[in-house]
Amino acid sequence: MDRKLTNLTEQILLDEKDFIVPAKKIWLKLSLMDKLDDVHFENFTTMLKEDTRFEVFENHDNSTAGEHEEDIENIVFFEGPQVMLKSRKPSRTELGNLMITKTNTIYKSLKKAWDQRNIENQDEEDQLLQALASTQKLLRALKKEFTESS
C-alpha cells in the first residue's frame, strides 16, 4: 500500500465539497498531479478498500453509461466505486440532498419509461404508473423535509 497516495487521497476528500466522491475522479486528479506512477485504477480502488480511513461503495447503477461511458466521463460523470472518509460524517442537509438527487434520478428514469412505454398488459402499465406516482410523492416529501429544515 502506498501511504503517500492514500494520504493525498485523504486530503483531496477533505477539500471536496461532496462527502462521497467518485474514486475515478480522485484517481484522475492524482494522475494529473503525476502522483500515480503507473498505478491502475483497479489497484487504486483496492488500496482505498484496504485503508481503514476510507469507505468505498460500489456503484452498481451502470444504466446511464453503457457503451457511452467514456463520453459521459468526459463531461464529468464518473461510473464505478464512490469513496468517502469515515471520519467525515455527512450533515443532515448533505444526506437530504443526496436522497433528493437519487430519488430524482429514479423518477426521471421511470418518467422516461412511461413516455416510451409500449405495454400491452394493463397490469404492467398500472404498476409502472404506481411506481411513478410513489416516486413522485417521495420526491415531494424529501424536498419538503430538507428544504424547509435547511
Give the rounded distance of the alpha carbon of 65 from its chain centre. Answer: 13
Which strand (E) or helix (H) includes residue 7?
Answer: helix 3-15
Task: Determine the pLDDT at residue 61.
Answer: 54
pLDDT in 10s for each residue of the chain, 150 residues: 588 999 999 999 999 988 889 999 999 999 999 888 889 999 999 999 999 999 999 875 544 444 444 443 443 467 889 999 999 888 898 889 889 998 999 999 999 988 888 777 788 889 999 999 999 999 999 999 988 655
Q: How many helices (H) and strands (E) does the chain have?
A: 6, 3
Instruction: Give the full edge-to-edge strand order of the sheet including 82-85.
Output: 21-22, 82-85, 54-57
Let me know: does 92 contact 142? Beta carbons within 8 Å.
no
Please tell me whether residue 52 adopts helix, strand or coil conformation: coil
Phi, psi at residue 19, to the nearest 5°?
Answer: -85, -20
Sole residue written with cell 480522485: 26
Q: What is the pTM of this model?
A: 0.63
CA dist list (Å): 144 to 100, 102, 140: 10, 16, 6
Q: 43 near 72, Cβ under 8 Å?
A: no
